[in-house]
Amino acid sequence: MKIGILPTMAGRKAGGVETYELGLIRALSRTDDRNAYTIYALGPNTAAALDPKQDNFKVRVMKPSNRILSMSTTLPLSLSRAGLNVCHATFVPPLVPPKKLVYTLHCMSQFIRPDLYPWHMRWRINALTKIGMKFAELIICVSEDIRQSALEDFKIAPDRLGVVHNGIDDCFAPVKDTPELRDHLRQAFGIDRPYILFAGKLEARKNIIGLVKAFDCFRKETGGKHRLVLAGRPNWASQGIDETIEELGLQNEIIRTGHLTLDQLPPLYSGADVFVFPSFWEGFGLPVAEAMACGVPVITSNLSAMPEVAGGAAMLIDPKRVEDIAAAIHKVCTDSQLRAQMRAAGLKRARQFSWDTVARQTIEAYRKIAA
């Protein structure tokens, strides 16, 4: 098969979608030397981030450098001339969709929780998502929860919807708790006490303000031994986080690491007493799986795809109830036997998520469309 892949977030520090694009394409290059792949990169950063270096893969950088112009002119022309059997849009569909389109659907929160997005961003994301859902012959949903939303809310035919769970990188594994690990955490991040960890974008959808308030409640109950570490960078939806931290007087109790690469995360996950991910909505929730793979107990929300990803191996909370988040943190941090049970369950669950499995299932989707 001749397969074209259109990644739009790789090389942009774009969180879960970027992780998906990198994980999928790297796994395809490891596991498939038979099909011919062309990666249509919308800029040099995307090309540099991917660069599979396999004989059956080539990368084409679209011009002009303006993404809107190349998406609307150069890309459709290139796709029409390429003679592809399948075109896979991994997040943003081509504005002029080709035949034999596979589209990965990562998120429905802009439809389900429109209050979490400014209107101009919601309008753009909604329009692009609707193009993908309308014209794709097959839609790869990253969770069953996403599939159900597409089925029920948009009446998409079941035979056009498939589920392929995300994978996690092999680097996510427990790092042994040694003096060397503690020295690394102190030198790299300034962590010198036990800590509670969050990893992800610092935005309203992730419920950072609720987590900060729950952490404040927990500190008051336990005497303040722990710190809260927020691993991720702020974005357009980070309003109110700084104000809440300052209002509660937690400036010296919360550490913010900024954006981290994948290989920086395993030591940070492994050293935490608990990982807390109280998001209001997730299409998948990669940090939940990553944290479990590193052997840290996980607390996450009882909404959208998070229970599906946790698979019974995490403690579920109502993210709208600060007191529930605080109580869960207290329970996990003060019960060593519970932490051991949650670590074992999480490690077992995390083994279900592999990028090589994602690649194999995605190739099957390509075959189905190309037939």
Q: Tell me the CATH number at 50.
A: 3.40.50.2000
- The mean pLDDT value for 12-32 works out to 91
Q: Judge whether residue 14 has pLDDT over 80.
A: no
Task: Verify that 206 and 329 share a domain, yes or no.
Answer: yes
Task: Verify that 358 and 320 share a domain, yes or no.
Answer: no
Please give the residue range of the domain that contains residue 79.
Answer: 2-167+354-370
Q: How far is 36 from 23, CA to CA, in rounded Å?
A: 18
Cβ neighbours of 32 (radius 10 Å) = 20
CA separation, residue 100 to residues 70, 139, 158, 359 (Å): 21, 11, 17, 18
Q: Residue 64 has what pLDDT?
A: 85
Task: Verify that 334 and 361 share a domain, yes or no.
Answer: no
Q: How far is 290 from 266, CA to CA, in rounded Å?
A: 8
Token output for 225: 């031994």
- Asked if residue 92 is part of any domain, the answer here is yes
Band of pLDDT at residue 231, cut at 50, 70 and 90: very high
- The mean pLDDT value for 16-36 works out to 94
Q: Give tens-digit pLDDT for 243-291.
A: 999 999 999 999 999 989 889 999 999 999 999 999 999 999 999 999 9
Band of pLDDT at residue 109, cut at 50, 70 and 90: confident
Q: Residue 281 has what pLDDT?
A: 93
pTM of the model: 0.94
- The mean pLDDT value for 12-39 works out to 92
Q: Residue 236 has what pLDDT?
A: 65
- The mean pLDDT value for 92-117 works out to 89
Task: Verify that 194 and 231 share a domain, yes or no.
Answer: yes
- 113 burial (CB, 10 Å; 0-12 / 13-18 / 19+) is middle
- The mean pLDDT value for 52-61 works out to 91
Q: Residue 9 has what pLDDT?
A: 85
Token output for 92: 């943003």
| β-strand partners of 229 | 197, 255
Residue among 298, 299, 302 nearest 318 (CA) = 302
Encoded amino acid at 310, one letter? A
Q: Give tens-digit pLDDT for 179-191.
A: 999 999 999 999 9
Task: Verify that 98 and 221 share a domain, yes or no.
Answer: no
Backbone angles phi, psi at 360, to 5 degrees: -60, -45
Q: Residue 12 has what pLDDT?
A: 78
Establish how many alpha carbons lie within 13 A of residue 265's alpha carbon, considering only the half-sphere containing its beta carbon: 31
- Return the minimum-mean-pLDDT range out of 68-77, 147-156, 306-315, 346-355: 68-77
Band of pLDDT at residue 173, cut at 50, 70 and 90: very high
Token output for 43: 């800029």
- 336 burial (CB, 10 Å; 0-12 / 13-18 / 19+) is exposed
Q: Give tens-digit pLDDT for 114-139.
A: 877 777 778 888 899 999 999 999 99
Q: Judge whether residue 16 has pLDDT over 90.
A: no
Q: How many domains does the chain have?
A: 2
Q: Give tens-digit pLDDT for 190-224.
A: 999 999 999 999 988 899 999 999 999 999 999 88
Task: Verify that 286 and 263 share a domain, yes or no.
Answer: yes
- Asked if residue 66 is part of any domain, the answer here is yes
Q: Residue 324 has what pLDDT?
A: 98
Task: Verify that 185 and 142 share a domain, yes or no.
Answer: no
Q: Judge whether residue 327 has pLDDT over 90.
A: yes
User: CA-based angle 21:143:36, to the nearest 5?
Assistant: 35
Q: How far is 365 from 114, CA to CA, in rounded Å?
A: 31
Please say whether the beta carbons of 251 and 217 come within 8 A.
no
| β-strand partners of 265 | none
Residue among 173, 215, 162, 206 nearest 306 (CA) = 206
- The mean pLDDT value for 78-83 works out to 92
Q: Judge whether residue 332 has pLDDT over 70.
A: yes
- Asked if residue 12 is part of any domain, the answer here is yes
- Asked if residue 213 is part of any domain, the answer here is yes
Band of pLDDT at residue 110, cut at 50, 70 and 90: confident
Q: Residue 203 has what pLDDT?
A: 87
DSSP letter, residue 295: T
Q: Cα-Cα-Cα-Cα dihedral of 335, 337, 341, 347, to 10°?
A: 80
Task: Verify that 158 and 56 share a domain, yes or no.
Answer: yes
Please say whether the beta carbons of 101 and 89 come within 8 A.
yes
- Asked if residue 172 is part of any domain, the answer here is no
Task: Verify that 358 and 309 share a domain, yes or no.
Answer: no
Task: Verify that 37 and 163 share a domain, yes or no.
Answer: yes
Q: Residue 130 has what pLDDT?
A: 93
Q: Residue 83 has what pLDDT?
A: 93
Band of pLDDT at residue 84, cut at 50, 70 and 90: very high
- Asked if residue 174 is part of any domain, the answer here is no
Q: Residue 89 has what pLDDT?
A: 97
Task: Verify that 284 and 226 share a domain, yes or no.
Answer: yes
For residues 53 and 357, the model is more confident at 357
What does the chain come to in residues?
371
% residues pLDDT > 70 (the chain): 99
Q: How far is 342 from 334, CA to CA, in rounded Å?
A: 13
Establish how many alpha carbons lie within 13 A of residue 288's alpha carbon, considering only the half-sphere containing its beta carbon: 30
Task: Verify that 15 and 133 share a domain, yes or no.
Answer: yes
